Amino acid sequence: LGYALAKELHALEATVYAVSRTQADLEALKGECPGIQPVLLDIADWTKTRETLDTIVTEPVDILINNAAIPGPLKFMEITSGDFDEVTNINLKSVVNISQICAGKMITTGRRGSIINISSMYAIRPQSRVAMYSSLKAALDALTKTMSVELGPHNIRVVSMNFGYMWTSMLTRRLPTEQDRQNFLARESPKFPSGNVYVPIKEAVNSILFVTSGLVDSMTGCGVLVDGGYCAA
């Protein structure tokens, strides 16, 4: 999602800072979109993240999209202390850190801003084998609400995007074979009234662009469901 979103924003002539801890991904993105500013960074490192972004991001910030996430252990009884810290650092703590940095820049310049937190349908309707992921996404949705209240007086909007399944690297690792994918579709399809188990990446990108477009400036402190009806079923 982040790769596709960065490309689309670049096509719209935005100045894009793309943050990743994977050098190959940044090189590929830079090859397709030479104007993008690649930032190689492990956002789990609080201090290094602050030092890097404070140095590199010198232009006013209008939009921040917090997209990074890892799934963590699938089963509740398999979660270790190390797992908990690793997943929390990336899925939640980094959002606090980077949002503080970018919101501070928005406040300093007096510009209207939008912060988009990429959440999940699992924050609203969790199921088995996603204990860490769903609980931290639920915490992220609560953080979105709190941030919107505190940052609203500074003309900063904060919105969660609660997406359904997307065909990203996270899901492909979980379903490595064609048989795995067919079994997954057979199991999950009845849960989606729309019949669409997967949210197309393009639709996810378009929904984010709409929320940040200036067409819905009254939208803040809420979650936007793009999930094929999963949470309504």
Nearest to 160 by CA among 127, 191, 138: 138
What are the distances in angstroms from CA 52 to CA 27, 44, 46?
18, 13, 10
DSSP line for 7-51: HHHHHTT---EEEES-HHHHHHHHHH-TTSEEEE--TT-HHHHHH
Catalytic: 17? Answer: no
- Ramachandran area for residue 13 (φ above 0: left; ψ -120 to 50: alpha; else beta): left
Q: Give me 139's structure tokens.
A: 């915490």
> Which residue among 3, 122, 133, 165 is the active-site one?
133
Catalytically annotated residues: 133
